Structures are given as structure tokens and as C-alpha cells.
Chains A and B, each alone.
Chain A
Amino acid sequence: MIRLPQRETKSLLAIHGWSAVCLGLLLYVVIVTGVACVFADEIGDWASPLPEAPTARFPSGIDAPLRTFAESVDPSQRDAFFAFPRAGGRMYAQFHHDARDASGKMVEHDIAVDIDPATMQIENRREGDDDALAAADRTNAISNFFINLHVRLHVPEPWGLLLTGVLGLAMMVAAVSGFLIHRHLIRELFTLRRRRDLLSARDAHVVAGTWNLLFSFLLAFTGSFFSFASSFGVPVMAMVAFNGDQEKALETMVGNPPASDPRPATLANLDAMLADARTRTHSEIYYIGIEHWGRADARVSVTMLPPEGELLGTTYVYDGPSGGFQYEKPALGRVPSVGGALYGLMAPLHFGNFAGVLSKGVWFALGFAAAYVALSGMRLWTTRRAAEPGWRPLTRAVAGIGHGLPLALTAAAAACFIAQIADAELEPVMMRSFLAVLALALAACWMVRDAERVSRALLLLNGVLMLALPALRLLAGGPGWGAMFATGQFAVPAIDSALIIAGLTCLLAVWRATAAERGARQALRFEQVRG
């Protein structure tokens, strides 16, 4: 039990409540999309599988199409290159290069392709900045949409990242202050009173919050680090230590500063380097990065997935022109360091992707609990102030977004398949459907007196739509379960089944809530008759 003087408890309660009221709804959006993003890779594999599962993350023979792609790119635009498998195992390969536009402003210019791992065909070449590449990416449309919403709420750089960073800080404040104000942390760990009143609403929020406390803190901390590091932290450090040269700052942090040698030189065979990296550790290749492709100072970094039972993978560095192994390094820095290790831990702790589906499943559950804590907290706040008319807009917004947001996300996924059938652009269609559904949900909560009834209708719609998603996927030309089982692509049947179970759960919840309400009404009538 934590004993705090009353004054501190009071101000902490105010901090807890007001940070939630001001930022809670946006934070709820970030958490809910984050829960979906845990399985972003699997969602890609589910939405756009290939007929054949790739033999490995980096199948042998990948050197040839990557080389063809590189030769099609102007040498001046080959500063940085990276590649890793995305939806269905398609190899995503991208050159990145910073250029100055007519007005002298720095703009990023990227060139990307997908490579079919079975046929080694280069497909879907696209150029432009990050947003342009994402918009032209049809196979990762659903996961990109969710990721963009989670990372920056679709707000342009750098404001989106700064916003989600602040939301992460708010979540941290909520976790810490919630911990400090809850006096009976251990004693009430298992007590949840189920009645339709304030006390049970409070119990629901507090119990979920207590069980989820550590992970909420962890996710908030690592999340706000990711938001602030690139949008604020690195620029500030670059300003202080490198006179504002961010590239120099990053180079120093990565610990891979190449001695500049711009003479042209052919890159050695990548397949050989990848094969060598595989012999050095018991894990698969995560991604590869190449600096200065086609120059004498080219350097190839092969980053490995964490070996079984570990959180961090390692990186092997090869000399580009000779293909010879040079050294092993951590993610940041040339040799292990406190900062480098802490940085390395940020990603596995935030994404929960260190032990495949097992750890992702756990992170999904914890994220779901965090979303429940956020929503039940806002419900509690508004229920307590139900009598005050000033709070009614917030009450309605909470009701509308609470169940409207999951529905809008399902609708966006459904819209993606429908747009595929209609051969339309995916991203705008998804965005419009998402916003339209959210607006309709809010409007319904605004106009209908009984917000509870609207919530139930939204949940019902979400259940129906979830059940419809596998059918829509098939209608959009997606493969059936038989073919996917035969080729070992289990993401497709797994996510289909998860959607069906989730859809049925929604319907069951609606049915039970309706039955409970009918029971309560009958009991009330009985009381009246008897009285």
C-alpha cells in the first residue's frame, strides 16, 4: 500500500484525470491501432499472400534482381539502400537519398521496388518521398494504414511524431499517477464488483489498470522514445554536438563511418555474403543495408533476427567491393555500450517481436488490456460527471469513439478489399471510409439519447463486418485456405479465424448486453407492480 498525504493524492488524481481527458481519446486511437500493428507483418501476409511461400526470408538468388534494380538507379541516388521481406514474403528494396529541391530545401527522394521471391521478377517500381511510396504500395496497404495511424495519426512530419510522443508521455504520467493514487493496490487486485453503477465502473478501470501497469509504462516509455528520437532527440543532439549535421550525428551513432572513396567499384555477390552471415549465428536475416552501392567505399550490413530465447540480434558488416567479412557490431556503435544496449532493447520491448507469434500474442493481449484501461477510465470520468451538462459532449465522444474506432478500422480494411475489386486507389478509399465511419459513429452518439444503445449498435456492426472480411478477401481474389495450408502460409487461415472468432465475440457481447438490459427492465417493472 502506498500512503501519500491527501494533498498529493488530490493533485495526482487531478493530473491523472485531466491528462486523460485532454489526450485520452487520441491516446486510445494510438493504443488500439498499436494493438493491430503488433501483427502488421501477419496482416500483410494475410491481405496479399503469394501463391508460393518463399523458401527463406532472403531466398538465394536474390542478388540478381537486386543488382538489376541498383543498375537502374542513377549512381548519385545510391547513397543508402535497404531491403527486407514484406507482405507475402515479397522483397521490399529501397534506395534513399536526400536532395535539395528548387528552393534549396532538403527533400528525401526514394526509389523502391518489390521483388517476387519465387520468380525474382521486379514489380511495382515507385519514386518519391515516404508518403508517395506508401501510397503506391498496394500489397501492404492495410498494415501501412494502421502503422501510419499508430505512429503519427496521419499527421504530417514532424508534428505527427511530436503528437504521439506527447501522447506517450501522457500515458506514462497516467500510469505513474494511477499507481500512486491507488491506495489498495494489492488488496483490491482481485476484486471486481459487477453491478451497473459507478463502483463497478471504477473496479473495472482499476483492476485492468493494476494488472497492466508495468506494461503500460513500458509501452508508453518506449513509444514516446520512438516518437521523439527522430523528430526531436537526434536533431537536438546534432545541433549541440555536430553543428546541426544530422547525418553526421546518425553516422556517429551507428558507428559505421565509411572512409570516403567515391571511385566506382562493382559490389560483390550478395548471396555469398548472406550465406556467410547465416553460418555465423543460429538465426535468420532480419534486413540488409548497403551504403554507397557501386562505390569503392561500399559497405554491406547484414542484421540478424535475435537467436531463439534472446532479445537482440547482431549485425555483420562486409566490405562491398570484395564481399569480405569485416566485423560484427551491435545495432548502434562499433562496440557494445550502455547506450547501444538500451537502444537495442527499445524495439523488442515496444513491438514484442522477439519470439515470433508467441511474444506478439502476449503483446497483443497486453495492448488490448491497455486500450480497455484507457476507455474504461474515460467512461469512469464521464459517468461521474453525468449530471453536469458541460461534460455531455465528452461523454458522447467517448461513447462514439470507444466502439466507433474499432469499427472504423475494420471498415478501412474492408474498404481496401472493395477498392481492390474496383481497381481503385487504396489509401484514399481507406482513409475516407475510416473517417466517414468515425464521423457517423460520433454523429449517432450525438443525436441518439441512449449512448449505450448506440455503442451496442456499433459493436454489432463491427462483429458483422469482421465476419464479412474473410469473404471480402476471397472476393478480391485472395486465395482459399486449402492453397494456403498446402504452401504453409498460416497467416491467412489464422487471421481469417481470428476475425471470425472476434466477430462472433462481438455479437455474443451485444446479445448478452441486450438480454441483461431486458432482464433489468423486467425486474424494474416487477418492482413497480409489486409496489
Chain B
Amino acid sequence: MAGGAIWLPKGAAQINNLLLPVLLFPAIWAVLFFYASLALRLRRAYAVIGIICVLQLVLIGGHFMLR
């Protein structure tokens, strides 16, 4: 979610990137939750969610390094 601040388009008011992740947080969480609990292959579910998390962390890390 936090990475959204960096990659989401800012939109006309320059706030979409900040607001949308906060607004959609419950939905993001719910999708991940149901995916994780219904996934047939647990290992793949771990991998998918793990990759999403790592991608976000890399984005945030890069954002701080490049400044």
C-alpha cells in the first residue's frame, strides 16, 4: 500500500497517489486475505504475496536512495 504514493499517478489535484491507497486499504487487504485463505497451492500464495511486498519495499527503498 505504502508504495502507492510513489507509483500511482498524482491526478489533477496532486493527491490521488496519497489518497487512493489509504481509501482502498480495506479492499486491498480483503483481496489479499481471501486470496491467501482460498489459494489451492499455499506455496504459490506465499510467493505471490511475498513478491508484492518485496516489490513495494524495493520501490520505497529506491525512492529514498535516489533522493
Contacts and interface: CB of A to CB of B under 8 A. Distances in A.
Contacts of B30: 169, 172-173, 176
- Interface band, chain B: 20 to 34
Nearest to A227: B26
B46 interface: no
Contacts of A337: 11-13, 15-16, 19
B27 to A, nearest CB: 7
A240 interface: yes
Interface in A303-338: 330, 332-338
A133 B1 CA distance: 34
A240 B3 contact: yes
A340 B15 contact: yes
A249 interface: yes
B47 interface: no
B53 interface: no
B13 A333 contact: yes
Interface in B24-67: 25-27, 29-30, 33-34, 37-38, 60, 63
Contacts of B33: 169, 173
Contacts of A220: 26
A221 B22 CA distance: 12
A237 B21 contact: yes
Contact of B20 (A8, A239, A240, A338): A338
A342 B23 contact: yes
A172 B32 CA distance: 13
Interface residues of A, number: 41
A343 B29 CA distance: 18
B67 to A, nearest CB: 9
Given A11-B38, A173-B30, A338-B20, A240 B63 contact: yes
A332 B15 contact: yes
A240 B13 contact: no
Interface in A219-264: 220-221, 224-225, 228-229, 232-234, 236-237, 239-241, 249, 252-253, 255
B66 to A, nearest CB: 13
A177 B37 CA distance: 11
A111 interface: no
A508 B13 CA distance: 56
A11 B16 CA distance: 36
Contacts of A241: 5-6, 17-18
Contact of B14 (A229, A237, A252): A252
Contacts of B21: 233, 237
Nearest to B59: A240
A221 B6 contact: no
A337 B18 CA distance: 12
Most buried by A among B14, B26, B37, B60: B26
Contacts of B14: 252, 255, 333-334
A255 B15 contact: yes
Interface in A342-376: 342-343, 346
B25 A228 contact: yes
A253 B19 contact: yes
The CB with the most chain B CB atoms within 10 A, among A8, A240, A249, is that of A240
A339 B23 contact: yes
25 contacts: A8-B38, A15-B37, A168-B26, A169-B30, A172-B26, A173-B30, A173-B34, A220-B26, A221-B27, A224-B25, A229-B25, A232-B25, A233-B22, A237-B22, A240-B63, A241-B17, A241-B18, A333-B12, A336-B12, A337-B11, A337-B12, A337-B19, A339-B18, A339-B20, A342-B23
Closest 7 pairs between A and B when the two form their complex, measured CB to CB: A333-B13, A339-B19, A233-B22, A337-B13, A241-B5, A339-B16, A224-B26
Interface of A: 8, 11-12, 15, 168-169, 172-173, 176-177, 220-221, 224-225, 228-229, 232-234, 236-237, 239-241, 249, 252-253, 255, 330, 332-340, 342-343, 346
Given A8-B38, A225-B23, A340-B13, 11 more contacts: A15-B37, A224-B25, A228-B26, A237-B5, A240-B3, A241-B17, A253-B19, A332-B13, A334-B14, A339-B20, A342-B23
